[in-house]
């Protein structure tokens, strides 16, 4: 397993722009992470579609290569089920630009979640409908087709509050689009909400069974259950209720060199989160 971190969770650099970006990647290397989740818009560097040129991608690639850090995923978390035609068109163009950029950057994949059938990108009962799923598949299909042309993987991340909310739904998307360039990011905690967290081991087992051959990356975080009855709170690994034993057994036996990135860490706890995952991985 090649363990990494969301790059915007690393300690803020003193520099700005590309200089500050390079300082952050140097910090990733110092922390002995092997890869990173890159979200351009959160890094203080250009992220608009018109800025995503081959030269820009190759500039960043040299920084990653110099520090021996992989770009595990280029994040493009936009709503492909937006009912507003203009917003949907703009989102689609951003996906295409990020796919082109990823091809020059050497990113393992472009990563995305699966949206909601509203412009606010928030959960609503309609997220669970077949109509919403059909809309998402219809709008994802040309994006995947473009990824095929560019030789880039695009990976969807099932999330309990989005249109693709469980493994069965994800399996349906994969089977209907039927592309070798469409893959899965497995984020166990994102499959949970207040209604199902107590059934998490069954949910994780089902996900690993149904999506095994298509899981291309893993996200690792933890969760806490608030006493006031509110929604689950995402935290760094080891700071909540997650037991990663079975998941890391799966990774070790089925996905030996997979990229896995920590989420919801802070600069003062990322090393302890890293050590907990690596220690668990070593003993499973």
Find the CATH number of the domain harbouring 67. Answer: 3.20.20.150
What confidence category does residue 14 fall into, taking pLDDT thresholds of 50, 70 and 90? Answer: confident
Separation between Cα atoms, residue 168 and residue 30, nearest integer Å: 40
Instruction: Determine what percent of the chain is predicted with pLDDT higher than 90.
Output: 98
Total number of domains constituting the chain:
1
Q: Which of 46, 137, 133 is nearest to 97 (CA)?
A: 46
CB 90 within 8 A of CB 46: no
- Angle at 14 (CA atoms; ends 108, 29), nearest 5 degrees: 35
Global confidence as pTM: 0.97
Residues 118-143 have pLDDT tens digits of 999 999 999 999 999 999 999 999 99
pLDDT of residue 12: 82
- Contact, 184 vs 170, CB < 8 A? yes
Is the pLDDT confidence value at 13 over 80?
no
Cα 230 to the chain's mean position, in Å? 24
Question: Can you give the pLDDT at residue 229?
Answer: 86
- Phi/psi region, residue 44 (left: phi>0; alpha: psi -120 to 50; beta: rest), is left
The pLDDT tens digits for 45-101 are 999 999 999 999 999 999 999 999 999 999 999 999 999 999 999 999 999 999 999
Average pLDDT over the chain, rounded to an integer: 97
**What integer pLDDT is reported at residue 16 of this predicted model?**
87
Indicate the burial class of 180 (C-beta count within 10 angstroms; 0-12, 13-18, 19 or more).
Answer: exposed
Strand segments (E) across 145-210: 154-156, 182-186
Closest-CA residue to 90 (of 79, 99, 100, 103): 79
Coil vs helix vs strand at 129: coil
- pLDDT tens column, 202-260: 999 999 999 999 999 999 999 999 999 899 999 999 999 999 999 999 999 999 999 99
When pLDDT is averaged across residues 168-182 and rounded to a whole number, the result is 98
Q: Taking residues 258-268, report their average pLDDT.
A: 97
What percent of the chain is modeled with pLDDT above 70?
Answer: 100
Domain that holds residue 259: 2-283
């Amino acid at each position: 397993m090649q363990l990494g971190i969301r790059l915007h969770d690393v300690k803020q650099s003193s520099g700005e722009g590309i200089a500050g970006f390079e300082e952050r990647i140097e910090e990733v290397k110092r922390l002995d992470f092997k890869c990173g989740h890159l979200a351009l818009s959160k890094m203080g560097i250009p992220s608009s579609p018109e800025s995503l040129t081959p030269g820009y991608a190759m500039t960043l690639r040299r920084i990653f290569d110099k520090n021996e850090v992989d770009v595990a995923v280029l994040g493009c978390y936009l709503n492909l089920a937006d009912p507003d035609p203009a917003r949907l068109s703009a989102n689609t163009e951003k996906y295409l630009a990020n796919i082109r950029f990823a091809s020059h950057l050497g990113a393992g994949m472009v990563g995305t979640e699966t949206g909601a059938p509203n412009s606010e990108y928030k959960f609503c009962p309609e997220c669970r409908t077949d109509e919403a799923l059909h809309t998402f598949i219809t709008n994802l299909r040309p994006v995947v087709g473009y990824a095929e042309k560019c030789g880039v993987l695009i990976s969807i991340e099932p999330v309990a509050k989005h249109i693709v909310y469980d493994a069965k739904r994800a399996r349906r998307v994969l089977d209907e689009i039927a592309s070798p360039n469409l893959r899965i990011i497995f984020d166990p905690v994102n499959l949970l909400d207040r209604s199902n967290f107590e059934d998490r081991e069954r949910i994780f087992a089902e996900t690993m069974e149904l999506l095994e051959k298509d899981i291309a990356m893993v996200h690792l975080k933890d969760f806490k259950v608030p006493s006031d009855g509110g929604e689950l709170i995402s935290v760094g690994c080891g700071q909540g209720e997650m037991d990663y034993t079975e998941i890391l057994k799966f990774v070790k036996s089925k996905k030996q060199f997979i990229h896995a990135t920590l989420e919801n860490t802070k600069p003062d706890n990322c090393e302890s989160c890293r050590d907990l995952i690596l220690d668990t991985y070593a003993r499973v």
